[in-house]
Amino acid sequence: MKIALAQINPVVGDFEYNFSKMRKIIKESLRKGISLLIFPELSLCGYPPEDLLFKPSFIKANRKYINRLSREVRGRMVVIAGFVYQSEERAFNSAGVLSGGKVRDVYSKILLPNYGVFDEKRYFHPGKDITVYVDEDIKIGLTICEDIWGETVVSGLKRENPDLVVNLSASPFYSGKLSLRKSLLAGRAKKMNSFILYCNLAGAQDELIFDGTSMVINPQGKTIIQGRRFSEDLIIFDTQKKYRPVKLRHNTVEDIYRALVLGVKDYVSKNNFEKVVVGVSGGIDSALTLAIAKAALGRENVLGVIMPSQYTSKETLSDAVKVCGNLGVKNCVISINNIYDSFTKELSSFSHFSGFSLAAQNLQARIRGNILMSFSNQEGYLVLNTGNKSEVSVGYCTLYGDMVGGFGVLKDVYKTKVYKLASFINKINRKKVIPQSIIKRPPSAELKPNQKDEDELAPYPLLDKILKLYIEKDECRRDIIKKGFDPKVVRKILSMVDRNEYKRRQSPPGIKITPKSFGKDRRMPITCRFSS
């Protein structure tokens, strides 16, 4: 029996597009003599559809297209595809079992995740019945994503003694998730003494990256086939064949790089943009963002806008020009000095507007934001935001200034990781596209003379360690201090994180690459007087 796992990249809500893609793969699989073809979780409508699920017309489209899809399934072939099933006004996260031109059966996800970025209990009712099919004397258990992570469904299936357990998945990427996933699936395979056929989405949707990497795991818990990472793939498993375990190493930094490139590519194209604009400061965040944008979209679709002020050093400006040149990206230089002067002239009569005040610094950042948005509005560029997780965490950024943009490329990337990504890019490009001078210069916002990030915050390696403990581990001040960090520094950083929730609430969406990103992953009140 030949089984295919189709890790596809659907578009949320684009039924016609998703259907056509799936039909093409069904045809290809028919030609290849596939008996069983698996598509990922909710692949027909895209994942996660969020509140589209409350629209009766959206549910109806699911029914229409699963029926259309079933009519493509001919001969003895069976197709299993994720879609939204509705019965008695209740919606289910389901898998349609299609054969002989019909929807033969519907399995519904039993365990609904409602943590992290997931809100499935908001939308779905849980399925009830553990489901096992027998085809060509092979006993196949069916599960959807979370079903295989929890205990109840696995224990139920184990009693049925299946040969293969299929898992339709939409499992969001973060750095380290793959090894977690593999060790979980290995344990499940051994526990059920069964092959596991794990079929994951591949593609990006808003803040989430689905990294593909569908897998076949043998009953000994070894991965014997593995699909591509971060792109579509069709992997074929022949139950008659012998397979040896595969060993594929993944580089953490490369993984993140590919996630970011995919995230930008899909956000831009799925939202019908072609071109992006990046404010290039001569610093490392914008250099990295520019390099990722070029990798995602091609240099012809990227514009660098360089906006020096009186505080921009000659070196920084020259680096900004250089990095555009190295990447082959068009750039233009627009000084903000005259605009800044016209603002201060108008404002100085109304408030005590000093040149080095926070307001004056913010104003410079906002003028730059305005210029970028003018390019967006006038020429149809999407503005990519360049803010990293360290600065977004502590609010070291200007709302409506450097925080403008349709999409935050580095929003979940700590500054220390930004450096690693820059080195990685220089390595894979075999020439230093990001100038060493950018990598070596101490980071500065250059909004007043002699400004250095690390003077105003803390050294980045220290900052990032504290942020991880506070944001991702939910540790309290006392426990962090106990780990040996300077109490003064800890107190300052935690209070900055708490105080800046209002800024993050208005920040562009960005790509999730850590276990807990800002966005649906972390839902803090703005009005809040708790300090841990």
Interactions with a copy of itself, residue window 349-408 (CB under 8 A)? 350-353, 357-359, 362-363, 366-367, 369-371, 373-375, 377-379, 399-400, 404, 406
The only residue of 24, 32, 345, 488 in contact with a copy of itself, by rule CB under 8 A: 345
Give the Cα-Cα-Cα angle 169, 172, 174 (nearest 5 degrees): 140
The set of residues, in sequence order, having a beta carbon less than 8 Å from that of 222 and lying 6+ positions away, is 186, 245
Alpha-carbon span 178 to 299, nearest angstrom: 31
Residue 509 Cβ vs a copy of itself, minimum distance, rounded to whole Å: 6
Site residues for a copy of itself, window 96-135 (CB under 8 A)? Answer: 114-115, 119, 121-122
Instruction: Sketch the per residue contact string, 14 through 33, with a copy of itself: x for CB under 8 A, - otherwise.
Output: xx-x----------------
Residue 116 Cβ vs a copy of itself, minimum distance, rounded to whole Å: 9
Instruction: Centre a 10 Å sphere on the Cβ of residue 54 and count the other Cβ atoms it contains.
Output: 12
Under the binding rule (CB under 8 A), the answer on residue 89 touching a copy of itself is no
Q: Which residue has the tokens 């990103």?
A: 517
Residue 231 Cβ vs a copy of itself, minimum distance, rounded to whole Å: 18
456 catalytic, yes or no?
Answer: no
State the pairing for strand pair 302-306/2-7: unpaired
Question: 3-state DSSP call for residue 201?
Answer: coil
Under the binding rule (CB under 8 A), the answer on residue 484 touching a copy of itself is no
Alpha-carbon span 10 to 84, nearest angstrom: 14
The only residue of 87, 152, 155, 271 in contact with a copy of itself, by rule CB under 8 A: 271
Residue 230 Cβ vs a copy of itself, minimum distance, rounded to whole Å: 17
Tell me whether residue 3 or residue 91 sits nearer to a copy of itself (CB atom): 91
Alpha-carbon span 420 to 414, nearest angstrom: 10
Site residues for a copy of itself, window 175-234 (CB under 8 A)? Answer: 205-206
Alpha-carbon span 498 to 526, nearest angstrom: 8
DSSP H or E stretch at residue 167: strand 164-169
User: Binding segment for a copy of itself among 6-14, 135-143, 148-156, 159-167 (CB under 8 A)?
Assistant: 6-14
Residue 332 Cβ vs a copy of itself, minimum distance, rounded to whole Å: 5
Under the binding rule (CB under 8 A), the answer on residue 509 touching a copy of itself is yes
Under the binding rule (CB under 8 A), the answer on residue 276 touching a copy of itself is no
Tell me whether residue 54 or residue 193 sits nearer to a copy of itself (CB atom): 54
Alpha helices (runs of H) in 194-336, residue ranges in sequence order: 252-270, 284-297, 314-327
Q: Which residue out of 45, 145, 324, 397 is catalytically annotated?
A: 145
Q: Which residue has the tokens 């039993």?
A: 110
Give the Cα-Cα-Cα angle 333, 335, 339 (nearest 5 degrees): 140
366 neighbors 332 (Cβ within 8 angstroms):
no
Under the binding rule (CB under 8 A), the answer on residue 94 touching a copy of itself is no
Alpha-carbon span 287 to 289, nearest angstrom: 6
The only residue of 152, 179, 488, 502 in contact with a copy of itself, by rule CB under 8 A: 502
41 catalytic, yes or no?
Answer: yes
Which residues does the annotation mark as catalytic? 41, 109, 145
